Amino acid sequence: MFHQADLFDAVEVGQGAPAKPLNLPALIERIADFSPRPRYAFMVLNLIAKAAGGNSGSAGPYVDTEDEVRVPLRDWLCDSLVPMAKRDARRLIIVEEVKASLAAQDALPDDAEQAARAIDNEVRERVRRSGRCNVSRAVSDLVRAGLVRRHYQGYRVDHHNRGAQREAVYTITEAAARALWSQKAS
């Protein structure tokens, strides 16, 4: 089977010393050592663990939503994190830019309700596009910290999901899962 090397390989734990088990504070400290945005990376790790559930620690390439719709894992992660940015000033600027853009294209419906829906849909798409980059960056930090492994589904040239259309699969490591679940069990 073809294996694509990860540019953000996990840090190797020394061969001589056994890796000490992680608890939640140690997990957070490890994330803080590798990520410039540790709170965001921790939220992403928690969501990956939730998506993986009982699936042997692997999440993706698709997640079933509450509406029973299958969405790509990175899109699901982005949508799950959107409420964190609702009050952000940049989000308000995006809303104004979308309004102006749709008005300039004369694509804004006359009905206020339909216009609000059109604006909301376009804002959601723009936020999702930038959110996918943020999620990928956070996952790269988690991979470097040795808490997540990443691979992509759709690796063959003649595969229907080839090239840039490959979807990510994230596998949470045993140590990270134990640290997260031990806290929830207590």
Q: Is the pLDDT of residue 163 over 70?
A: no
Mean pLDDT, the chain, rounded, equals 81
Over the stretch 8-39, which tens digit does the pLDDT of each residue have?
Answer: 555 554 333 336 678 999 999 999 999 999 99
**pTM of the prediction?**
0.76
What pLDDT band is residue 112 in, cutting at 50, 70 and 90?
A: confident
User: What pairs with residue 153 in β-bridges?
Assistant: 167
The pLDDT of 51-67, averaged and rounded, is 84
DSSP class of residue 28 equals H
* pLDDT tens, residue by residue, 114-141: 989 988 888 888 888 888 889 999 999 9
